[in-house]
Structure 1
């Protein structure tokens, strides 16, 4: 966890069964997921510098390139795993921890 995250009081979600390079932060936020099939509403369930877990009503296959947007955040990635409506998105390149901190606001952290 970065010093910034500690200063903001952010607590990472426990990386239960997946090998993680970055600590994940549980959130429950609306987002948009853009894929070759079009744009869809989504719920951002967790986020880190390297990826995110989203819930999406539209079925999107593993390996599909997507763009996740939330506010001013726009991140390109690919669907690394599919578990029902939950999609594990691996970002093409890690995002800055300050961008994660912008997304993980004190209001969004109520679920942690």
Structure 2
């Protein structure tokens, strides 16, 4: 977890609500494909951090609002920095889905095989 997240405790639930209220926005999960397949926030698109150089294919509009999340939040911050360096102008780090910083993690509905993180991930 980054120092900023410790100081500011990014609330992913607020980030998801902001995504839902932003017309034309994309909810981007930068976790590995396997983790996204097991559980994810509904409507999220998956582009793993390691494949972020392919963002132009999935996200051709550099001005489209993008709300980025990961598991713990470190990778979402890395992804946001990389996307901004690639020219994306409306990129928002909404943190991680796990419980951290005294919040309860993501509390909304999920898709996939289950919400509990398997021990082998």
Question: Which TM-score applies when normalising by structure 1?
Answer: 0.27
Give the structure with the larger helix fraction: 2
Structure holding more strand per residue:
1
TM-score by length of 2: 0.26
